[in-house]
Structure 1
Amino acid sequence: MNDIRPISLLICALGGEGGGVLTEWLIDIARHAGYAAQSTSIPGVAQRTGATTYYVEVFPIPVSQLGGRRPVFSLNPVPGALDAMVSSELLETARQIGNGMSTPQRTLVISSSGRTLTTQERMQLADGRADSADLVKIVQGFSREHHVFDMGSIARESGTVVSAVMLGAIAGSGLFPFRREDYETVVRGGDTTAPEKVSKMAAASLRGFARAYETVSQPRTQATMIKAMLASDDEDVRAPAVLPPEVAARFPPQVQEMLTLGYARMLDYQDAGYAWLYLERLRRVLAAEREIDPSGANDFATTREMARWLALWMAFDDIVRVADLKSRASRWSRVQGEVKAGDDDLLQVYDHFKPGAPEFAALLPPALSATLLRWDRKRVLKGKAPWALPLKIGSHSVLGMLSLRTLASLKWLRVRGARYAGEQAMIEKWLGGVLAGSRRHWRLGHEIALCGRLIKGYGATNERGKDNLLHVLDHLAPAARSPEENAASIAAARTAALADDAGIALDATLVRHGAPARPVKEQPLRFIRKIPALQPAKES
């Protein structure tokens, strides 16, 4: 008896995912099955100081066989002495492994492949996401057995929460000496005499439980899922088969996946003519790259990067695009799924907009657009706030949806607007820089193509990115030095611009490479009258 140890499990869950409910379920299941168990919880702030963790120990011998003796349980998990760990988020799994909780000789790890981006990941101007494939490798290297699958997807499809899915995964792993019926009885609510009277919530939990149970209990299926995830074969990023065969034949295979995605985006954003303009621009880039690299030794990386960043820039966000996205049927279905609205529920969705003068000016001809922007700037110079039109549109109503669809139908007006003309002019200048750089040296053209990463977001962020790109093209791309030096300086400037949104690092890098710092933009000064301080009351 002294050699038998409790089975230990660490549960890692984010806020609102039911980690406490899962722990209570496990304790109730152990008692229902006749085993002694204990649980403790350690609070945390998920994605900042770690997830809220719950620690469960179950003695593997039924209470009826202990002869009145009572096992001694631990209050906290001990690094290196953990039998199993279940987590609802992949980075939290890796974090706990980094704390020494999992060992290759002993620990079973069950984790969701889903990610909830941390604050640091969201703050990056470029792609700051941790690589999920690297996180999975950590799980593989520091576990006796591992099961990694998308718990969030199963929960959404089953209409339940992640805690029920985690419970099914624990049951399917065979960690505890409980029968499947023991788990299901507790989830059902303890009443097995009338299964038709199971509540909707319990029925959804049982569906999620069953899906996860089968996923973990079938080794072949699980191995296939892991291989698919390691290969990053995500259905959401597969290229739709819309690229005409005669067009695909003109581009090398290394480019076609990104090219197809970009072509589909142009069709969705504007029309076939705009998609053809996208293809024609890429054809020019491919021709320039083949001149300097006819054998394709660099896998046509310049054309591939241009296919990505050119598509994102050409599909710039405006009020027409926003209205189109918010009025699509897929968006309504997604909202219904997120709030778990049933057939008998009343769902109302209100969208808040605040378009200003730049948004309206974007759709006007250049002369009228300039007039409107000058009027708004005069307002700002007089100390007034920029003009804006706050709107609250109920997209669940006929009038609200009709308003959004009417605005979304103005694609024909977009190509006649001032912003469209300005965006196309800047795109052509960037494209010209890529073509000229590619003809001088492959790396130079590739580095200029990568500068498309600077164009992101909307409003001031988007304008700042375009200003930075144009400044780099004007002062670092010209053939004043060798192509290798030009490429190195452009790469350094791009890295500095993405690392510091204030532009201090970019200006320092520009000066260091012999280019002038960005010009200081004028900003209106506002003088606020000082409110006199209140005088203390005099004593009478």
Structure 2
Amino acid sequence: MSQQQPISLLLCALGGEGGGVLTEWLVETARHAGYPVQATSIPGVAQRTGATTYYLEVFPVPVKELDGKRPVLGLYPMPGRLDALVSSELLETVRQISLGHASSDRTLVLSSTARALTTMEKMQMGDGRRDAQGLLNLITAHSRAHHVLDMAELTRQAGTIVSAVMLGCIAASGLLPMGRAEYEAILKDSGGSAQASLRGFALGFDAVHAQRTQAQFIEQVLTPKAVAPAAEVPALPAPVAALFPGVLHEIIALGHARLVEYQNAAYAQRYIERLQQVLAAERASDPQGTRGWAVTREMARWLALWMAFDDIIRVADLKSRASRWSRVLGEVKAGEADLLKLYDHFKPGAPEFAALLPTDLAQRVLAWDRKRVLAGKTPWALPLKIGTHSVAGMLALRGLAMLRALRPLGSRYATEQALIEQWLAAVVGSTARHWPTGHELALCGRLIKGYGSTNERGKDNLLHVVQHLAVADHFEHDDARAAAIAAARQAALADDAGKTLDQALVKHGVPARPVKAQPIRWMRRPPVKKTS
């Protein structure tokens, strides 16, 4: 017994993922198999949801063989002394590694490739996501062995919680002395969700078992291509496919399908006609397509996203879809006998309502709201709480979604199309004259993102680049212009406030963005209570 050491595991799950349930399953399995076991929870918080880690120690000698002795088990993981780190989220795995728990000579890491984006990742103007391959490299460098798989996808397939999949991964790893049948016996007694838990367990077990028995595929499993199965690409209509090189078909098919769903086939055809203008300009400057038609590719992506701009019609459509209700049912694990009520909160303001009105009426509504603000009042908004589970609530959302046919009559639609045409004309003209400049302007489509003030700020930034850098005549050559546009785009994505962009604009000889007038609001000083 003196030479035996407890097997230590640190279990990490985000809030609501069943980390406590997983710990209970492991404890019950170990006890059922006759092994000493102890588990403790370590409360904590995270940027995404609550995060509680669970520390578990199992002594690999049956109680009946200890001659009445009892091992002393620890309450907290010792740095570098951890036998296994199990996590349901990739960045959480790396966070625990950064705390010194894992070691390259001892620790087995079982991790999911799934991500729950942090607040800082979501706040970035550009793509703020952490590099997944970099996180995987850290796991490789700080683990004795590792099995990385998409637990979220396996959970979805099984219709269960991720803790069941994690249990299967632990069982298949061979780290603990219990057999598969002993784990499954505990799951069979877990209540009404036993069958779903067993399905998730089996999927997790088989996935890790396959990695263990086929070591030659470990390198392939850890590459981004194996992180998650690619979504099925919709078929591009044959007449449309004939207009573009084959290398562009996939990205254009995605954009085309998005716009058919967003508005209709005629709107998607308008997207195709715009892309044809870009392709014609690119063929003029690069007839052989030696650059892979990169300008058309970028425009296919960012143009589709801009044309499918978010408005209250789009929000109502997404909120009232059957697929959304099914997803919520799965997330809350609601059974057939459970009663689920779902409320959506909205707060549309004057701009959202004005967007659906003809331009003349919209201007009156916006002018009225500006007058309120100048008078010291807050912008008008209508707080709404809609029960999506109710007939009235669903009818309200579906009725609003059916206004899609009226969208082209609204002021927002006209404004967005005019801005798109301005950007499109700049890209087409620049590409035909100097390919790198057109490519940089196409990449500026990344600036259009989000909604509300974020979306407006992105459009202002892009149009300022188009109206100044793209047409300025002080550049010595077009390569200098392309470099200036690239610098401005990177500056706009790096700084939400826009100060970095203004500095980049001035540095390259064009004016900074105009300062927008902001009303001054006077606040009454609260009365001071006199004390005797």
Q: TM-score, normalized by length of structure 1?
A: 0.90
Which amino acid counterpart does residue 367 of structure 1 have in structure 2? D
Structure 2: how far apart are the matches of 1:6 and 1:228? 30
**Residue equivalent to 1:239:** 233
- The 5-angstrom pairing of residues 267-306 of structure 1 reads 267-306=260-299
Deviations 1:257-298 (A, max 9, x none): 111110001101111111111011111111112222222222
Structure 1: how far apart are the matches of 2:331 and 2:488? 41
Gaps of 5+ in 2: none
Structure 2: how far apart are the matches of 1:335 and 1:236? 23
**Residue equivalent to 2:515:** 520
Q: Is the contact made by 2:472 and 2:510 (CA closer than 8 Å) also made in structure 1?
A: no
The offset of 1:99, in angstroms, is: 4.3
RMSD across aligned C-alpha pairs, in angstroms? 2.7
The offset of 1:415, in angstroms, is: 0.9
Which amino acid counterpart does residue 91 of structure 2 have in structure 1? L
The offset of 1:236, in angstroms, is: 5.6
* Percent of residue pairs identical: 62
**Residue equivalent to 1:175:** 175
**Residue equivalent to 1:497:** 492
Structure 2 CA distance for partners of 1:9 and 1:394, relative to 1, 3 Å = closer
The offset of 1:159, in angstroms, is: 4.2
2:250 is aligned with 1:261: no
Structure 2 CA distance for partners of 1:149 and 1:226, relative to 1, 3 Å = farther
2:408 is aligned with 1:415: yes
Structure 2: how far apart are the matches of 1:496 and 1:450? 13
Which amino acid counterpart does residue 492 of structure 2 have in structure 1? A
Structure 2 CA distance for partners of 1:284 and 1:18, relative to 1, 3 Å = same
Compare 63-72 and 341-350 and name the one that shifted more. Answer: 63-72
Structure 2 CA distance for partners of 1:9 and 1:496, relative to 1, 3 Å = same
The offset of 1:14, in angstroms, is: 2.2
2:118 is aligned with 1:126: no
Structure 1: how far apart are the matches of 2:468 and 2:445? 17
Q: Is the contact made by 2:48 and 2:116 (CA closer than 8 Å) also made in structure 1?
A: no
Q: Is the contact made by 1:50 and 1:92 (CA closer than 8 Å) also made in structure 2?
A: no
Deviations 1:349-399 (A, max 9, x none): 232222222222212222222222222222222223323333333333333
Deviations 1:420-479 (A, max 9, x none): 111111101111111122123222111111111111111111111111111111111114
Deviations 1:273-330 (A, max 9, x none): 1111101111111111222222222222111111111001001111221122122221
2:195 is aligned with 1:200: no
Q: Is the contact made by 1:51 and 1:92 (CA closer than 8 Å) also made in structure 2?
A: no
Structure 1 residue corresponding to 2:503, chosen from 503, 508, 512: 508
**Residue equivalent to 2:63:** 63
Secondary structure of the corresponding residue to residue 8 of structure 1: strand
**Residue equivalent to 1:214:** 206
2:450 is aligned with 1:457: yes
Which amino acid counterpart does residue 350 of structure 2 have in structure 1? A
**Residue equivalent to 2:146:** 146
**Residue equivalent to 1:46:** 46
Secondary structure of the corresponding residue to residue 409 of structure 2: coil
Structure 2 CA distance for partners of 1:500 and 1:118, relative to 1, 3 Å = same
- The 5-angstrom pairing of residues 270-349 of structure 1 reads 270-349=263-342
Q: Is the contact made by 1:149 and 1:225 (CA closer than 8 Å) also made in structure 2?
A: no
Q: TM-score, normalized by length of structure 2?
A: 0.91
The offset of 1:483, in angstroms, is: 1.5
Q: Is the contact made by 2:87 and 2:112 (CA closer than 8 Å) also made in structure 1?
A: yes
Structure 2: how far apart are the matches of 1:46 and 1:360? 37
Q: Is the contact made by 1:350 and 1:393 (CA closer than 8 Å) also made in structure 2?
A: yes
The offset of 1:157, in angstroms, is: 4.3
Compare 102-111 and 270-279 and name the one that shifted more. Answer: 102-111
Structure 2 CA distance for partners of 1:427 and 1:32, relative to 1, 3 Å = same
Which amino acid counterpart does residue 58 of structure 2 have in structure 1? V
The offset of 1:48, in angstroms, is: 8.4
2:528 is aligned with 1:536: no
Gaps of 5+ in 1: 190-197
Structure 2 CA distance for partners of 1:391 and 1:80, relative to 1, 3 Å = closer
Secondary structure of the corresponding residue to residue 109 of structure 1: strand
Deviations 1:107-126 (A, max 9, x none): 32211121111222122121
Which amino acid counterpart does residue 261 of structure 2 have in structure 1? D
Q: Is the contact made by 2:150 and 2:227 (CA closer than 8 Å) also made in structure 1?
A: no
Superposed structure 1 runs of 4+ greater than 6 Å apart: none
Structure 1: how far apart are the matches of 2:238 and 2:263? 21
**Residue equivalent to 1:471:** 464
Structure 2 CA distance for partners of 1:399 and 1:42, relative to 1, 3 Å = closer
Structure 2: how far apart are the matches of 1:48 and 1:332? 22
**Residue equivalent to 2:224:** 230
The offset of 1:4, in angstroms, is: 3.5
Alignment coverage as a number of residue pairs: 528
Secondary structure of the corresponding residue to residue 36 of structure 2: strand
Deviations 1:118-169 (A, max 9, x none): 2221221211111323333443454443322222333344443322321221
Secondary structure of the corresponding residue to residue 377 of structure 2: coil
Q: Is the contact made by 1:7 and 1:60 (CA closer than 8 Å) also made in structure 2?
A: yes
**Residue equivalent to 1:193:** none
Secondary structure of the corresponding residue to residue 129 of structure 1: coil
Structure 1: how far apart are the matches of 2:366 and 2:438? 36
The offset of 1:230, in angstroms, is: 2.8
Structure 2 CA distance for partners of 1:362 and 1:87, relative to 1, 3 Å = same
